Structure 1
Amino acid sequence: MGNNTETSTYDVVVIGGGPVGENAADYAIRGSDRTAVIIEHELVGGECSYWACMPSKGLLGPGAALAAAAALPGARERLSGVAPEPSAVLARRDAITGGRDDSSQVEWAQGAGIDVIRGHGRIVGERVVAVGDRRIHAREAVVIATGSTASIPPIDGLRESLPWTSRDATNLVDIPERIVVLGGGVVACEAATWLLDLGVRELTMVVRGNRLLPKSESFVGEMVAGALTDRGVDIRFGTEIDRVERRDVADTGYGRLHGGPARVMLRSSGDILDVDEILVAAGRAPATEGLGLDAIDLPDSGPIVVDDHLIVSGHPWLYAVGDVNGRVALTHMGKYQARVAGDVIAARAEGRNLDSPRYSAFADHSAVPQVVFTRPEVAAVGLTEQQARDSGIDVTVADMDLAVAGTHLLDPGYSGHAKLVIDRTRDVVVGATFVGAGTAELVHSATVAVVGEVTLDRLWHAVPSYPTVSEIWLRLLESLR
């Protein structure tokens, strides 16, 4: 090291200052005299706070509220329209993201005893992270929590056209009249929902597979596709983009049109779509570029493989949590892993053994909850029927339309569906899926049932309140008697 190199030492060094990194640092030092630092090259608070979960739900909320009001006589008559007012929606989004100002997040970290260093962290040796000329040593652990980045498929002319990614869609400023959405997953479906709310006139979804939300139960994609089609979306299944042409391409900033109109040529049909913007929602890749993983003999691309303690094999001082380890790309599951990793770091620092279940991240194998905030809403946890059968489970299912007193009170024309996947041998629920308005609040009860391995005989005594949407639990259990 040269004489100008600044060095410092912390017990825990976290690369990545999103909610996952924040949780890992906090849990590793909370209630102790240990020290921690977060290294972040963008904004403390990460993808979720500024470019993903929070702004997307902010954009989706007004349309959902109007749809709920429009479903009820007495409220419907007071509505002047069923489309949100775009400028007010975008202003609310900006308030939720704080205008991408992370000062309050930095204040939180400092209040929790966590230092923040601005810059790009790079591993340069065992327990050593470089940020520019600075070297930071970790006594106990280095935690990688760098998340993931949007993938752009290798389609002729696509990258050169500077298409929107999820960051642009959640931070949109210009509302395109015509847009192509490439992909059929969660980001694509949620973005299509709020783009329609904000006044997009022509929206085409180009989906390589044969259904939306393909990792879910089949009825999920069918219901979401039906709702989008009813709103005028043109969904092209089994289709790929052959090439893209665009003039006057310009990096105008997040959420602004990145040039003139684009011409999108489709491979199978030969159709040509002229649009104002292209949104690529075709998956994400672990953000490992520039981390220096080759310095410690790890692959410098792809997910960082960890065990259930979130420790990287062969490197007992190194942890990887969240999207970057490739286990589950959901903020709440990344935060769960971070809590586990933080507890593991604390336990090892204090010489405690790791026998307790709290030191092992097992929920992200088979008990992952997720809500997709489309209309209809989708809430699910655990295994689908096909996943359970593929795992060798002796499966039985309870499967029915979601129609109880609580749903009728939400909307006389309510449309929804529910399904439980049951391990017949153990008599426990291993998966649950609900589609319909108000189902987001059902998923945690299902998560508790799956994680707790509550038998059906015991679940029979969990009485749902009347009249609520949760009464569907009773109907599902009755169908199994």
Structure 2
Amino acid sequence: MSTTYDVIVLGAGSTGTNVAWYARDNGLSVAVVERELVGGECSYWACIPSKALLGPTHALAAARRLPGAAEAVTGDVDTDAVLRRRDGFISHLHDDGQVQWLDGIDATLVRGQARLTGEREVTVTSADGARQRLLARRAVVVATGSRATTPPVDGLDEIRPWDNRDVTTAKDIPDRLLVLGGGVAGCEMAQAYRRLGAREVTVVERSDRLVGGFEPWASELLADAFRTEGITVRTGRSVVHASRDGVDGPVTIALDDGTQLVGEELLVAAGRAANTDDLGLEAVGLEPGGPLRVDDQLRVTAVDGGWLYAAGDVNGRALLTHQGKYQARLVGDIVAGKDRSAWADHTAVPQVMFTDPELAAVGRTEQQARDAGVDVKTVTYEIGSVAGGALLGDEVRGRAQLVIDQQQRVVVGATFVGPNVGEMLHAATIAVVGKVPIDTLWHAVPAFPTVSEVWLRLLEADRGL
């Protein structure tokens, strides 16, 4: 026995549920298959809990930078209260609310493991072993996301290291935390745990700097901030061996320079892999284990017939929740016959790292622009030198940079480092996406005294003022 829908979505994370929403808005019938929690990685183990852990500590740090408010701060952060608030934001790992939302858009939820078993055909195996066959009239959309990976380090698999799920849902703060990987997840959680009470936090990154996707100067500002608050940063180093003392004892990692580091827990935040291992891709001629390559209409290019789509982390284009949602909205329209294209994935991918200071960027870095043959000019300005930045408190550090295409006289990239600069990023995204001429940007007057006044100073720097 089988049931037929216009669209079958594999994965009920933020990408999959947005595909369902837009497909339903276009009048299509939709089934969404999920083997874990409706809402997915971002809602329970990534974006939401990590920011819930960071937010209270950032508020406290901001108050301490501000004379008058600093004197009122007489204690440390209440770690137990932060963890309870985190638990509330992730609904104590229950998905009733998100299931209700899915019901509200009249999409059918099917619980279980989905596998492709033929063209436009999906077989779902539930927890009790029962099987259900689903058929799609128009499309199957794979939105199964990604998972944390463990690098091939001797002994690492045996010591049960933490991944992003463990670190964002932990019930206690270890005295010493080791972090393998200096990317966004590793850096955010290193700072969160240090501020929530970890006595020692050490970040080990094999490349020569933290968060390599950002401008080098942004990485340097972050590393300086980490060192100031007692986070040890070891760049240019690799872990060659890992061990744990007994079942619950401390972890020891050996670095390639002979150094040994010890901590109660080791967070491995060294990359992610597409969730394609157990989807039955072989049935449609695909190899499992890697991302599903797609065109700008999000169709899987290696499958004929234009019926198989992939959106979000699983296609490897931009492993960010907001980009997955962007792709999802397009897919929901495309399967309904509308002319859409995911060109922003190539042009303006905004990203924010919610450390203190925040790092926010969109478009190309200076080096990426030069590598693409752009006639580059960069302009920078210190955020603490504008009135709005100085008013945020003493010793506010940060910087803004625009990457300008001199021939076209448009912004092709922007980076901001400083308190809450993520809230400034959308203006830069609009400038990059809209290819707004520099001469036109002069007439977008920033309000005084806001931090956004840095835009005026950047434009003045472009003129040599």
Same fold (TM over 0.5): yes
Per the TM alignment, residue 234 of structure 1 is displaced from its structure 2 partner at its CA by 1.6
The equivalences for 1:176-215 within 5 A come to 176-215=174-213
| Maintained 8 Å contact 1:293/1:299 | yes
The question of 1:15 aligning with 2:2 is answered no
| Contact 2:142–2:311 (CA under 8 A) maintained in structure 1 | yes
Does 2:347 correspond to 1:373?
no
Shift of 1:31: 4.7
The AA in structure 1 aligned to 2:235 is F
SS, match of residue 334 in structure 1? helix
CA contact (8 A) 2:381 2:454 kept: no
Q: Which residue of 2 aligns with 1:3?
A: none
Of the three residues 162, 183, 199, the one matched with 1:164 is 162
The answer to whether residue 137 in structure 2 is matched with residue 139 in structure 1 is yes
Question: One-letter code of the match for 1:204?
Answer: T
Q: In the aligned structure 2, how far is the partner of 1:311 from the partner of 1:31?
A: 18
Q: CA deviation at 1:174?
A: 2.1
The answer to whether structure 1 residue 303 and structure 2 residue 298 are counterparts is: no
CA deviation vs aligned residue, 1:137-191 (integer Å, no higher than 9, x gap): 0011100000001010011110111100011111111211112100110001100
Inter-partner Cα distance in structure 2 for 1:441 and 1:370 = 11
Following the alignment from structure 1 to structure 2, what is the Cα–Cα distance between the partners of residues 185 and 438?
Answer: 19
Displacement of 1:267 in angstroms is 1.7
1:395–1:423 Cα contact (<8 Å) kept = yes
Partner SS for 2:173: coil
How far, CA to CA, are the matches of 1:159 and 1:114 in structure 2?
Answer: 39
Q: Aligned residue for 1:335?
A: 325
For structure 1, which runs of at least 5 residues remain unmatched after alignment? 1-5, 250-258
Residue 119 (str. 1) matches residue 117 (str. 2):
no
Residue pairs, 1:282-431, within 5 angstroms: 282-313=270-301, 314-315=303-304, 316-347=306-337, 354=339, 359-402=340-383, 403-431=385-413
Q: Is the 8 A contact 1:438 1:469 kept in 2?
A: no
Question: Which one of the candidate residues 155, 159, 174 is aligned to 2:172?
Answer: 174
State which of 46, 49, 58 in structure 1 corresponds to 2:52. 58
* CA contact 1:288–1:302 (8 Å) conserved in 2: yes
Report what 2:454 is aligned to.
472
Looking at structure 1, the residues matched to 232 and 116 of structure 2 have their Cα atoms a distance apart, in angstroms, of 47
Aligned-partner Cα distance in 2 for 1:65–1:235: 24
**65-74 vs 452-461, which moves further:** 65-74
- 2:3 counterpart letter in structure 1: S
Looking at structure 1, the residues matched to 262 and 270 of structure 2 have their Cα atoms a distance apart, in angstroms, of 20
Per-residue displacement from partner, 1:351-390 (whole Å, max 9, x unpaired)? x5x2xxxx00011112000111111111110000000000
How far apart in 1 are the matches of 2:246 and 2:309? 44
| Matching residue's letter, 1:50 | Y
Deviations 1:116-138 (A, max 9, x none): 11111100100000112211000
Verify the 8 A CA contact 2:18 2:325 in the aligned structure 1.
Answer: yes
SS of aligned partner of 1:415: coil
Distance apart, 1:413 and its partner CA:
2.0
**Alpha-carbon distance in 2 for matches of 1:14, 1:470:** 41
State the 1:73 CA deviation.
Answer: 1.6
Q: Is the 8 A contact 1:27 1:346 kept in 2?
A: no
What's the counterpart of residue 128 of structure 2?
Answer: none
Q: Which residue of 1 aligns with 2:236?
A: 238
8 Å CA contact retained: 2:178, 2:262: no
Q: 1:85 aligns with which of 53, 57, 78?
A: 78
Out of 93, 96, 100, the residue aligned to residue 103 of structure 1 is 96
CA distance in 2, matches of 1:202, 1:37: 47
Name the CA distance, whole Å, in 2 between partners of 1:199 and 1:228: 15
SS of the equivalent of 2:335 reads: helix
Native 8 Å contact 1:181 1:206 kept in 2: yes
2:60 maps to amino acid: L
Worse-superposed segment, 70-79 or 286-295: 70-79
Q: Secondary structure at the match of 2:307?
A: strand
Q: Deviations over 1:265-284 (max 9, x none)?
A: 1122x122221110000010
Kept after mapping to 1: 8 A contact 2:191/2:231: no
Separation of aligned partners in 2, 1:413 and 1:266: 35
Percent of aligned pairs with the same amino acid:
53
Note the C-alpha offset of 1:414. 1.3
Aligned residues: 455
1:447 is the counterpart of 2:432: no
Amino acid at match of 1:449: A
Contact 2:5 2:137 in 1 (8 A): yes
- Give the counterpart letter for 1:17 in structure 2: A
Shift of 1:318: 0.6
Per the alignment, residue 253 of structure 1 pairs with none
Aligned-residue offset at 1:248? 3.3
Distance 2:121 2:202 in 1: 48
Say if 2:67 and 2:394, in contact at 8 Å, map to a contact too: no
TM-score by length of 1: 0.93
Q: Which residue of 1 aligns with 2:39?
A: 45
CA deviations over 1:20-41 (Å, ceiling 9, x no partner): 0000111112152x21011000
* Residue aligning to 2:224: 226
Alpha-carbon distance in structure 1 between the residues aligned to 2:152 and 2:249: 21
The answer (yes or no) to whether the contact 2:56–2:77 under 8 Å persists in 1 is yes
Q: Which runs of 4+ in 1 moved over 4 A?
A: none
Letter in 1 for 2:318: V
**Letter of the 2:115 counterpart:** R
- Displacement after TM superposition at 1:84 (Å): 1.5
| Secondary structure, counterpart of 2:361 in structure 1 | strand
Amino acid of the structure 2 residue aligned with 1:320: A
- Structure 2 length-normalised TM: 0.96
Q: How far, CA to CA, are the matches of 2:264 and 2:225 in structure 1?
A: 24
Matches of 1:31 and 1:39, distance apart in 2: 20
